[in-house]
Structure 1
Amino acid sequence: MLKRLASFFTYLMRHYLPDAYLFAILLTFLSAILALIFTTAGFTKLITTWGDGIYGIIAFAFQMILILVTGHCLALTPAVNRILVWIAKIGDTPVKGGMIVAFVAGICSFLNWGFGLVVGGLLALQVAKRNRKADFPYLIAAAYSGFVVWHMGLSGSIPLVIATSKHAQNFIEKMTGAVVPVSQSIFQPFNLIPAILLIVTIPILMTLIHPKEDEVKVVPEDRLAELCGDCPDVEMPQNPTLADKIDHSYTINMIFGLMGLIYLYYHFSTKGFDLNLNIVIFIFFIAGVILHGKPVNYIKAVSTAIKGAGGIALQFPLYGGIQGIMIGTGLAKVIAGWFVALSAPETFYMFQFWAAGIINMFIPSGGGQWAAQGPITMEAVKMMAIDPVRSAMMVAWGDQWTNMIQPFWALPLLGLAGLSAREIMGYTTVTLLYSGCVLSIFALLVGFGVL
């Protein structure tokens, strides 16, 4: 049954879902129309918030390009390539391949969302390279499905914000005067149990939705070789100049890499396990520099990796504009308010989760969504006398949930794989339905005091 359901959604997405760029433009139109209908914002306010949002996300877009490029370069080192190949060998059948990709992506996404996206995608490429009968979009969808737990994990924007004193968006501290350590959010049973359950069961779900043999889409050998790439090893010219010797200098590379390691030691020794996005990029960068051995090898790896970054550069600013409309006009607060009005104390957490899922379609950035939904969440907490931490985490759950049908976070994966969103979203729609049921049940259990 699930295989037929996945086949149905795959057919729908491949025939009716526009390119991710057009999807972002259509979402822009929809958010603008809804803002004009349901808020007091006029046309001028709408246009200015949209325009401000477009360039307001440029720094984040560049971070995403860097995490894709540095992660891909790291995977092109001989050492990391051997690890990925070793793991990929476990997936010696199409179904096993989907299982191992989803499982590894889930664990890595829980540790850090950027790490999970890159590792999941690169592992999927290696599985496809060694298992020519596996459906390639299915493997990339398995990698993206593992991402559905990211906001319950160590790099979740909302739990990290409410654990940071005097943060502008720490609405819990503003209301109660106290910060919330991650031991009271991420590592509480109400959050940890469903996270582990999803990490373990989504790989099983993948075994049930692999397409039939006559529906399998296999990437051509030459295309796969281009996507995976070989570990670069540029040879020294026969009569090297001084410039050539510098380009191939292991010494220069190691000294530079040592500088990076010293910085990382200082960072973690003074700030604890602060694994933020910039540090993940820095780790990928320094590790890649060291493991490539020669500067010229890293330069060649970057030339290979940068080819997949076009979608991010094109589409992220569009989502910045949508986020600007949603927050600047107050539309996000209006939508959140509808669900608050429908709620009782026992059902509030579930409705909060659903509301966050809808808002995430327009504001796929977790931090941006909390900025929009956080204040009305805290107002509801005071009115209903319910737990602010669990309420905040419901926003986190909803934010990660509908990513399964939102191409925004899939762009790094799609860049690695050379696929379009429509080719994987049929499979991830099944993940959306399954994870939505699981998280809705747990939200109800929280509401009735079981967790």
Structure 2
Amino acid sequence: MSGMPPPQGETRLTTESEGLLARAALRCAAWAERWFPDAWVFAALAVGVVAVAAIVMGALPGPGAATGFIDLLPRSVGSASTAFGDGFWSLIPFTMQMAFVVIGGYVVATAPVVARFIDFLARIPRSGRSAVCYVGLVSMLASLLSWGFSLVFGGLLVRALARRQELKIDYRAAGAAAYLGLGAVWAMGLSSSAAQLQANPASMPPGLLAITGVLPFSQTIFLWQSQVLLICLIVVSLIVCWLTAPGDANARTASEFVVDSNHATPKLPPRERPGEWLEYSPLLSVVVGLLGLGWLVHEFVAKPVVTAIANLNTYNLLFLTVGLLLHWRPRSFLNAVARAVPSTSGVLIQFPLYGGIAALLTQARGADGQTLAHHLANAFVHVASHDTYTLVMGAYSAVLGFFVPSGGGKWVIEAPYVMQAANDLHVHLGWAVQVYNAAEALPNLINPFWMLPLLGVLGLKARDIVGFTFIQLLVHIPLVLGLLWLLGTTLHYVPPVIP
């Protein structure tokens, strides 16, 4: 289930008939397939880079210190090691949530009625290029409600399109398009962690609440400036999808990646033993399903819909409950789970490394008592002015987001610094949140961390799609930063109202 190089006779690209961006995407894809490491190797290299930076920072003597680099080095190494070990398991709840995003989405999507709906959607495109754009549009629109759903649904839509023998669709480009929901616009929608946090005072750290006050959606994701930015991102992303999708001569199908897109969901075998009767009876599915639905109804009655669905635990229970009821018989449900579990292997083995990276950035303290994240924040914030805040803040969030891939958790770390700077520089606070949202999504386009659930569904590796997402990144960087600055000039600072 991994990407493989093309056969010996097909390594030469016939790019003469392709457009400029398509040729660039194909060359990037060829380079990535040859040189881009496995996602675990990529994460391990990131651990090394951040660890060295933390050790060097900790071994540099502070002002007036009597000890030097050599004396402080052992202590700094110990501090970095402790932080890495303490953070290694810190993402375990999130790891399991992400694993269940894959499992729940797979279980629902392989239920007979949903599988037929995805097959219906897959019959709409008429050409390979239009199919790639179609996947990108579906993925981005779905991500505005839930980024997790967009990953799984988009991946299964790509597999359904790949089953159409008459449609010459490039499996890599379609997979990259399915990733656009998370890589381009997810943080501009209802599942934006930063916007959700700022709109719910009970969830905000007291220190942050004292700086920003409460910022309702009307001041963040529902600003007309935010809608203009969102529409521009969707339109430009689809144009890039069209221009980078290879033509028939260079399209690589799912079969070339040893992905069996033609397999049908195995039928439930007949019951063989008396002890299996409960596995084949809908009784347990109804009992467990009704309990799950009862809890979900309570959640959606007690909370706003957008708040409830943005909770990953609620989201996962919803999908598992619906999947259980749609499969009807426990044995059918369990068979679907068993088929989905191998797709979670990358999530399970890589997320602990990202937990260690986050801890190295936020917990390992230097000789001056400050963390690497604090120094990074100050380095960006101190060079900003009222006119350049959006550009500096956007660049900072994008860079740090590559090393700390957690929208909500990273916002809690950054917000006290950047929002205080927004107050000091008289920058609209709601737009400061949107600067974070738009810029934080940029590194997702090439960060294997967020690709893992989608890659598990597609049976690909990060190197198979990153050539196409890299072209999207090159286009998005000036587009996002330019629009953030331009639209920000239409907003005026409003002092926070502290409850």
**TM-score scaled by structure 1?**
0.94
Give percent identity, aligned residues only: 31
| Aligned match of 2:448 | 407
Q: 1:289 aligns with which of 314, 324, 327?
A: 324
Q: 1:28 aligns with which of 33, 47, 53?
A: 47
Q: CA deviation at 1:272?
A: 1.9
Show the 5 A alignment for 1:158-197.
158-169=194-205, 172-176=208-212, 178-197=213-232
Q: 1:15 aligns with which of 28, 34, 38?
A: 34
Q: CA deviation at 1:61?
A: 0.4
Show the 5 A alignment for 1:207-222.
207-220=242-255
Computing the radius of gyration from Cα coordinates, the structure with the larger value is 2
Give yes or no for contact 1:164–1:170 (8 Å, CA) kept in 2.
no
Show the 5 A alignment for 1:63-212.
63-131=97-165, 133-147=168-182, 148-169=184-205, 172-176=208-212, 178-212=213-247
Q: 2:429 aligns with which of 373, 381, 388?
A: 388
| Aligned match of 2:372 | 331
Q: State the aligned residue count.
A: 447
Equivalent-residue separation in structure 2 for 1:61 and 1:195 (angstroms):
29
Give yes or no for contact 2:198–2:204 (8 Å, CA) kept in 1.
no
Show the 5 A alignment for 1:360-399.
360-399=401-440
Letter in 2 for 1:296: R
Equivalent-residue separation in structure 2 for 1:298 and 1:321 (angstroms):
35
**Does residue 1:53 correspond to 2:83, yes or no?**
no
**Does residue 1:350 correspond to 2:391, yes or no?**
yes
| Aligned match of 1:320 | 355
Letter in 1 for 2:325: I
**Does residue 1:417 correspond to 2:452, yes or no?**
no
Equivalent-residue separation in structure 2 for 1:169 and 1:110 (angstroms):
26
| Aligned match of 1:432 | 473
Equivalent-residue separation in structure 2 for 1:222 and 1:11 (angstroms):
14
Give yes or no for contact 1:125–1:224 (8 Å, CA) kept in 2.
no
CA separation of 1:319/1:10 partners in 2, compared to 1, >3 Å: closer, same or farther?
same
Q: CA deviation at 1:446?
A: 3.4
Give yes or no for contact 1:348–1:447 (8 Å, CA) kept in 2.
no
Equivalent-residue separation in structure 1 for 2:357 and 2:446 (angstroms):
17
Letter in 1 for 2:407: G
**TM-score scaled by structure 2?**
0.85
Equivalent-residue separation in structure 1 for 2:273 and 2:394 (angstroms):
62
**Does residue 1:247 correspond to 2:266, yes or no?**
no
| Greater displacement, 38-47 / 138-147 | 38-47
Q: CA deviation at 1:165?
A: 1.2
Per-residue CA shift, 1:396-441, capped at 9, x if unaligned? 2222111001110000011111111111101001111222222112
CA separation of 1:317/1:220 partners in 2, compared to 1, >3 Å: closer, same or farther?
same
Structure 1: which 5+ residue stretches go unaligned? none
Q: CA deviation at 1:371?
A: 2.5
Q: What's the secondary structure of 1:7's corresponding residue?
A: helix
Q: What's the secondary structure of 1:350's corresponding residue?
A: helix
Q: What's the secondary structure of 2:452's corresponding residue?
A: helix
Q: CA deviation at 1:79?
A: 1.0
Letter in 2 for 1:295: P
Please report the RMSD computed on the Cα atoms of aligned residues, expressed in angstroms: 2.0
| Aligned match of 2:70 | none
Per-residue CA shift, 1:155-184, capped at 9, x if unaligned? 1111111112133447552214x3122222
| Greater displacement, 211-220 / 185-194 | 211-220
Equivalent-residue separation in structure 1 for 2:140 and 2:127 (angstroms):
20
Show the 5 A alignment for 1:227-238.
229-237=263-271
Q: CA deviation at 1:33?
A: 1.8
Equivalent-residue separation in structure 2 for 1:130 and 1:334 (angstroms):
52
**Does residue 1:259 correspond to 2:291, yes or no?**
yes
Equivalent-residue separation in structure 1 for 2:451 and 2:211 (angstroms):
35
Q: CA deviation at 1:216?
A: 2.4
Structure 2: which 5+ residue stretches go unaligned? 1-19, 61-74, 365-370, 493-499
Give yes or no for contact 2:439–2:481 (8 Å, CA) kept in 1.
no
Letter in 2 for 1:431: Q
**Does residue 1:271 correspond to 2:322, yes or no?**
no
Q: What's the secondary structure of 1:449's corresponding residue?
A: coil
CA separation of 1:164/1:324 partners in 2, compared to 1, >3 Å: closer, same or farther?
same
| Aligned match of 2:78 | 44
